[in-house]
């Protein structure tokens, strides 16, 4: 049987990486065979693309940015995700195609149509079975970042974070069958419990 494919989404600092790690530990204890990957990156080529994307010295135009993300994603899908899913492994990704819809399509204003066309090629039409969207306010994101050195994308201003959140909330509304919205304003373990509940409910339903 094909493995399940789970993605985590949300604005910078909402707790994706923290929650992916906790869910990974939980599911491994439950005996699941898992592969955890991050975007951009997750492959040798993808990690190189990631360096280009995060480097503050780089002036990257929105179209270039869209294509760089898509190239990292194409490599990840072909090299890691599809082979793992076909072996029956569960795959968890820290960001996937929705990040491009929201960041490049919506917040940077390229439009969803362009992002859709490019990403259909990059992912071969693959979408996550379930997407955990962790919702926090832009104010909270900035608070959590204080004192840390920001990379090129994290250095974006408040208005940008606000737009990104709006974009995510639209996607959640448009694709309710795939998205679960989790309140990320609560403390780490409380968020973890909600994530586990949502994922387990999905897995139970999917087995039937």
Ligand X SMILES: Nc1ncnc2c1ncn2[C@@H]1O[C@H](COP(=O)(O)OP(=O)(O)OP(=O)(O)O)[C@@H](O)[C@H]1O
Residues in binding site for ATP: 10-17
Closest distance between ligand X and the C-beta of residue 102, in Å? 12
Decide which of ligand X, Mg ion, none touches 46; Cβ closer than 5 to 8 Å per partner kind: none
151 is an interface residue for Mg ion by CB under 5 A: no
Q: Which is nearer to Mg ion, 94 or 118 (CB)?
A: 94
Closest distance between ligand X and the C-beta of residue 178, in Å? 19
Strands 34-38 and 130-135: unpaired
Closest distance between ligand X and the C-beta of residue 23, in Å? 12
- The CA R_g of the chain, rounded to the nearest whole Å, is 16
Which tokens go with 47?
A: 């990690």
Phi, psi of 132 (to 5 degrees): -90, 110
> Could you tell me which stretch among 15-23, 58-66, 112-120, 198-206 binds Mg ion (CB under 5 A)?
15-23
For ligand X, the binding residues (CB under 6 A) are 10, 12-18, 144, 154, 184, 187-188, 191
For every residue of 127-182, DSSP letters joined together read --SEEEEEE--HHHHHHHHTTSPP-TTTT--HHHHHHHHHHHHHHHHH-TTTEEEE
CA angle 79–42–152, rounded 5-degree value = 135
Q: Which is nearer to Mg ion, 16 or 108 (CB)?
A: 16
17 is an interface residue for Mg ion by CB under 5 A: yes
């Amino acid at each position: 049987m094909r493995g399940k494919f789970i993605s985590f989404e949300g604005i910078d600092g909402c707790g994706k990486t923290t929650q992916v790690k906790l869910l990974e530990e939980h599911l491994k204890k439950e005996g699941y065979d898992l592969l955890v990957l991050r975007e951009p990156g997750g492959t040798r080529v993808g990690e190189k693309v990631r360096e280009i994307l995060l480097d503050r010295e780089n002036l990257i135009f929105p179209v270039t940015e869209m294509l760089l993300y898509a190239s990292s994603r194409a490599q990840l899908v072909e090299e890691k995700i599809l082979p793992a899913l076909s072996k029956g492994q569960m795959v968890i990704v820290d960001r996937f195609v929705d990040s491009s819809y929201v960041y490049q399509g919506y917040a940077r204003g390229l439009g969803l149509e362009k992002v859709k066309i490019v990403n259909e090629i990059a992912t071969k039409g693959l979408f996550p079975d379930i997407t955990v969207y962790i919702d926090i306010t832009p104010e909270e994101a900035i608070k959590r970042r204080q004192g840390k050195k920001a990379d090129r994308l994290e250095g974006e201003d408040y208005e940008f974070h606000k737009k990104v959140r709006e974009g995510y909330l639209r996607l959640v509304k448009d694709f309710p069958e795939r998205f679960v919205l989790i309140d990320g304003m609560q403390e780490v373990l409380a968020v973890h419990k909600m994530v586990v509940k949502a994922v387990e409910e999905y897995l139970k339903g999917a087995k039937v």
